[in-house]
């Protein structure tokens, strides 16, 4: 078997009034991609906290976030979806502007390929166990 690719990623927990900001991919079913938090790759030379802010902006369409704190890091093997082990840096962010309960957004991927469409919404923290691919692994640290 070939060696797995190792990548650096960020996960973002944005909390407002006891609810977590999540999204679903509009063009895919829940069975395919589940419910997610803003997340993505850390670009070469980019600090993890800067990547967290960038991914939150890109995937939600909102602009004003503040890093509350870094919650930690963990590794996640995303196989068999991709033959990859992700080093995930997890951040708690605060939204510093108003946002509706539900809205549409899209990520343009710097002009490469078709945009990805999202529906963003808030779920109670107690229901955040529904996150896909281990994204909820450090949610408990929001309470400590």
Q: Given phi > 0 = left and psi -120 to 50 = alpha, else beta, which region is 114?
A: beta
Q: Tokens 């895919």 — which residue?
A: 28
Domains and CATH numbers, the chain: 5-143 (3.90.79.10)
Q: How many residues does the chain have?
A: 144
CA distances from 138 to 36, 52, 64, 130, 143 (A): 14, 15, 23, 13, 10
Question: Across residues 97-107, what is the average pLDDT?
Answer: 96
- DSSP category for residue 33: H
Tokens of 118: 């999202």
CA distance 125 to 129: 8
Q: How many helices (H) and strands (E) does the chain have?
A: 2, 7
pLDDT digits (tens, 9 = 90+) for 3-53: 899 999 999 999 999 999 999 999 988 888 899 999 999 999 999 999 999
pLDDT in tens, 69-101: 999 999 999 988 889 999 999 999 999 999 999
Phi, psi for 41 (deg, rounded to 5):
-80, 145
């Amino acid at each position: 078997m070939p060696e797995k690719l190792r990548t650096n990623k960020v996960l973002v927990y944005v909390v407002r009034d006891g609810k977590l900001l999540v999204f679903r991919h509009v063009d895919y079913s829940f069975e395919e991609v589940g419910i997610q938090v803003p997340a993505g790759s850390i670009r070469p030379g980019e600090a993890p906290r800067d990547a967290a802010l960038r991914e939150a902006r890109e995937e939600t369409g909102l602009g004003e976030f503040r890093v509350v704190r870094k919650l930690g890091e963990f590794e996640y093997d995303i196989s068999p979806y991709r033959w990859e082990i992700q080093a995930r840096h997890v951040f708690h962010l605060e939204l510093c502007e108003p946002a509706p309960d539900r809205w549409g957004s899209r990520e343009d991927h710097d002009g490469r390929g078709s945009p990805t469409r999202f529906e963003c919404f808030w779920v109670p923290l107690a229901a955040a166990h529904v996150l896909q691919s281990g994204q909820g692994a450090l949610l408990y640290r929001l309470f400590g």
